[in-house]
Amino acid sequence: MDTNMKTFSFSTARKIIFGLGAVKQLSEELQNLGAKNIAIITDTVIGQSEILDKVVTQLREGGFKYTVWDKAETEPSVAGGEAAIEFTRKGNFDGVIGVGGGSVLDNAKVSALSITNAGTLSDWLKKTFQNPPAPLVLMPTTAGTGSEVSNAVAFSTPQGKAVLFSSLMYPSLALVDPEFTMTTPATVTANAGVDTFCNGMEAFVSLNATPITDAFALQTMQLVADNLREAYACGDNIEARKNMSLAALLGGLAFGTAGTVLGHACAYAYSYPATSIHLPHGYAVAITTPYTMEYNAIANQTKYATIAKILGEPVEEMSLRDAAFQSALSFKKLLYDLDIPASIRTTGVTKDMISTIAQNVFQSPAHVARNPRKVTEKGMVRLFENAYEGKLDCEQ
Amino acid sequence: MKAFPFATAKKIIFGRGSVQQLSDELKILCSGKIAIITDEIISKAGPLDTVKNVLHGAGLEYDIWDKSKSEPSIESAEAAIQFVRDGNYSAIVGLGGGSVIDTAKAVAVALTNPGSLSDWVKQGFTNPLGPLVLMPTTAGTGSEVSNAGVFATAESKYALYSPLMYPDIALVDPDFTRLIPAHITANTGIDALCHALEAYVSLKSTTITDALALQAMKLIPDNLRAAYACGDNMEARTNMSLAALLAGMAFGNAGTVIGHACGYAYVSPSTKFHFPHGYSIAITMPYVLEYNAIANMEKHATIAALLGESIEGLSLRDAAISSAIAFKKLLADLDFPSSIKEVGVTKDMLPDIAKNVFKSTTHVARNPRKITEEAMVKLFEKAYEGKLDCE
Ligand SMILES: [Fe+2]
Ligand SMILES: [Fe+2]
């Protein structure tokens, strides 16, 4: 490691519990946290599923008071977040559980903040908040977002995505039970799984990467490379599912501190709300990622060569430069195997949109600033042209 | 794989010069006078001056208690607690080696809990700690990211641990280790390596702790040799500080195994020997690796490779066993004795020492290979002669 290693900091959820059947530890953990009257934040799909039954059973047997709010939206808006807050403040709760995907967990975070802070979500988005949240347990039901260990929430506004983050926002407990992900349909498994890989990979190459986040990012990518195809091919493969769940958690530990980079910025640039094209988050990230990898490869050849190796390429006999570029080709193979297209044309992007999309990348200034290669508008136009044609430069 | 938990310090700050961030962090944590817990050696050396300057520059008020002892007794920690209770402090800064850090944890418990340390050791405590920042001045114990403190009485050692005992901030500034003498660099550095490799083979290891342990093991072999050879090598020192931190996060959750138990078995208070913590563990570690290797050959082969052995072309079994040889080479390079005979252990002590291993019940329970008294006698006989079976 280099001598001039910068100062870095690392934080995560106060406690993490991972494993099949981990939900059974919920009531004991709530007891330790001292919460008695609990708001359960979820969405209608989870609200009607066995997953919620399991959670509620824990609370009932533990003698806790609780109320379920199942109105979290799939793409959380500020208005939706305010609704969660209004519900929470009416109920006199002293603890919050979030059960669901990334959007649900974001709602649960602001719900817990509303117990200990005055003001509204729009206030906090403008000038943050003062107090740590009430006891907060986050239980993800998709393996992907890593939101359960991060200190950020994202809500869409008419102008684009608004992000709130604070070192105070880490949850008390991230409780990850892979059983919760067992019923995820194959396409969601694929989208979320690729997102997990990209979270790990982008954290790995981020300018904010640290030796701690690298340790987690490397494990994340290896687990996805070894398990995602199998989990997609057969959702009954419990071992593969469990490993994907674990990968998502580790990915969260990595990008929670190191951040994601150009890969996520490009996805935001061509999908809703920047354009009118609605796409699942992981799917949007997946399609443009081969092209961001190719763009970035020369900025950190060693790390991109490592990525290629993790993806299973025989890089031993290649030059460092070729090994680095091989990572993009290898990622394309992964997309092929998961039936995800490698061209944005398939999503409804037309050629005349490309110059606007390229400019949109700069609306994610934090991602751009962390990216290992300087981002230019010209570079982005070229990148999206390639993504439109579905062809990497190194394939020609 | 059973459900597993993972936790660490609420915030970790690492880097040369990161001490400059101390005042900003303290301003977020508290608004009142600060108690600095340290020992006499540190208080006469550079690190305390640096800390004082930072606090001074930011207009923060503080007092210093510098009577921490090298293996803290319950009494000496109680004295620190009394000091803090007599004043009106709103946050604790621990600055020193593992013993100082442990004392600072007990003091932070006292900020928010009634009772005494001996009460807490017996029955635990209920309230979260007062604001606590831990700043290690050695690269080894990893105590700054753990939730445990170890205190001695005349008869035994007592551990205080609690899920509430993680500090708010572990602030690791490698510049603090610059002036550490070579032999302490070796003792603390080898302790960090043992933390990493014992956490890695522990039955409580998880994918999360493995990620951290592997990073630590990658860093230590080359950087420890370099830092021992030349203490001015700040790149090596920085990497050792980082490795000790990563290893601390790993063993803070996965625990250590019989490497540590064997170290404890032949030193005080069980016998009359007083050796530094890392030193006592290091000497028996090759024999522990040889003993454990067959229980997890894959992981022991990885250890061998990370310790620099070329394992290509070896069978998995031979690669696993070569981890012991690799560790022995490292001991030789750091001028450690190669047998417990050389440090004063006599042959007639071996049966008792072997029995002592079982006193560390949790270490034994986490060990990848089941242990028997007979096997431990054999292990210590080898450690006595300084000869591995595979040599
Ligand atoms: Fe993502
Ligand atoms: Fe140790």
Chain segment A281-296, per-residue pLDDT in tens: 899 999 999 999 999 9
Mean pLDDT in residue range A162-186: 88
pLDDT of residue B269: 63
Rounded Cα distance between B6 and A14, Å, is 9
- In the predicted model, is pLDDT for residue A115 greater than 60? yes
pLDDT of residue A2: 46
- In the predicted model, is pLDDT for residue A272 greater than 90? no
Q: Contact at 8 Å (CB) between A128 and A102? A: no
- In the predicted model, is pLDDT for residue B58 greater than 90? yes
Question: B17 contacts in A (CB within 8 Å)?
Answer: 7
What six digits make up the tokens of A36? Answer: 């008695």
Determine what percent of chain B is predicted with pLDDT higher than 70.
98
Domain range annotation of chain A = 16-181, 186-395
With 0-12 / 13-18 / 19 or more C-beta atoms within 10 angstroms meaning exposed / middle / buried, residue A77 is middle
- In the predicted model, is pLDDT for residue A138 greater than 50? yes
B238: distance to nearest CA of chain A, Å? Answer: 8
Higher-pLDDT residue of B269 and B194 is B194
- Model confidence at B43, pLDDT cuts 50, 70, 90, reads confident
Domain B11-177 bears CATH identifier 3.40.50.1970: yes
- Model confidence at B268, pLDDT cuts 50, 70, 90, reads low
Higher-pLDDT residue of B69 and B216 is B216
Choice among A176-180, A183-187, A265-269, B82-86 with the minimum mean pLDDT: A183-187
Angle subtended by helix axes B182-201 and B277-292, to nearest 10: 40
Mean pLDDT in residue range B202-224: 96
Mean pLDDT in residue range B33-40: 96
Rounded Cα distance between B108 and B146, Å, is 14
pLDDT of residue A3: 41
pLDDT of residue A47: 94
Domain range annotation of chain B = 11-177, 190-385
pLDDT of residue A283: 96
Q: What is the pLDDT of residues B87-107, one digit of tens each?
A: 999 999 999 999 999 999 999
Handedness of CA B329, B331, B333, B339 (dihedral sign): negative
Question: B207 contacts in A (CB within 8 Å)?
Answer: 219, 223, 246, 250
Q: What is the pLDDT of residues A53-90, one digit of tens each?
A: 999 999 999 999 999 999 999 878 999 999 999 999 99
- In the predicted model, is pLDDT for residue A356 greater than 80? yes
- Model confidence at A1, pLDDT cuts 50, 70, 90, reads very low
Q: How high does pLDDT run on average in chain B?
A: 93
Mean pLDDT in residue range A152-157: 86
B337: distance to nearest CA of chain A, Å? Answer: 31
Judged by CB atoms closer than 8 Å, whether chains meet at A18 and B3 is answered as yes
- In the predicted model, is pLDDT for residue A177 greater than 60? yes
- In the predicted model, is pLDDT for residue A338 greater than 70? yes
DSSP B91-107: EEEEEESHHHHHHHHHH
- Model confidence at B270, pLDDT cuts 50, 70, 90, reads low
Q: Give the homologous superfamily in CATH for domain B190-385.
A: Dehydroquinate synthase-like - alpha domain (1.20.1090.10)
- Tell how far the Cα of A379 is from the centroid of ligand 1, in angstroms: 22
Mean pLDDT in residue range B329-349: 95
Judged by CB atoms closer than 8 Å, whether chains meet at B4 and A18 is answered as yes
Spell out the CATH class of A16-181: alpha beta
DSSP A310-374: HTT---TTS-HHHHHHHHHHHHHHHHHHTT--S-GGGGT--GGGHHHHHHHGGG-HHHHHH-SS-
pLDDT of residue A5: 61
Judged by CB atoms closer than 8 Å, whether chains meet at B6 and A16 is answered as yes
Mean pLDDT in residue range B212-239: 96
Mean pLDDT in residue range B194-206: 97
Chain B contact for A151 (CB, 8 A cutoff): no
- In the predicted model, is pLDDT for residue A144 greater than 80? no
Q: Contact at 8 Å (CB) between B229 and B237? A: no
- In the predicted model, is pLDDT for residue B178 greater than 70? yes
Judged by CB atoms closer than 8 Å, whether chains meet at B215 and A214 is answered as yes
Q: Contact at 8 Å (CB) between A112 and A135? A: yes
Using CB atoms, pick whichever of B5, B15, B239 lies closest to residue A15: B5
Higher-pLDDT residue of B69 and A186 is A186
Q: What is the pLDDT of residues A212-256, one digit of tens each?
A: 999 999 999 999 999 999 999 998 898 999 999 999 999 999 998
A13: distance to nearest CA of chain B, Å? Answer: 8
Chain B contact for A54 (CB, 8 A cutoff): no
Using CB atoms, pick whichever of B4, B10, B15 lies closest to residue A8: B15
Instruction: Give CA angle at A214 (A212, A218), nearest 5°.
Output: 130
ipTM: 0.84
Domains A16-181 and A186-395 fall in the same CATH topology: no
Mean pLDDT in residue range B128-151: 92
What six digits make up the tokens of A339? Answer: 């039936």
Instruction: Give CA angle at A190 (A280, A178), nearest 5°.
Output: 105
CATH fold of the domain at A186-395: Dehydroquinate synthase-like, alpha domain (1.20.1090)
- In the predicted model, is pLDDT for residue A336 greater than 90? yes
Mean pLDDT in residue range A175-179: 92
Q: How high does pLDDT run on average in chain A?
A: 93
Judged by CB atoms closer than 8 Å, whether chains meet at A12 and B234 is answered as no
- In the predicted model, is pLDDT for residue B261 greater than 60? yes
B180: nearest Cα among B132, B140, B223, B143:
B140
Higher-pLDDT residue of B95 and B3 is B95
Judged by CB atoms closer than 8 Å, whether chains meet at A212 and B13 is answered as no
Termini Cα distance of chain A: 36
Determine what percent of chain A is predicted with pLDDT higher than 70.
98
Secondary structure of residue A139 in the 3-state scheme: strand
Q: Which alpha helices (H) appear in A166-210, and where do they start and end?
A: 186-205
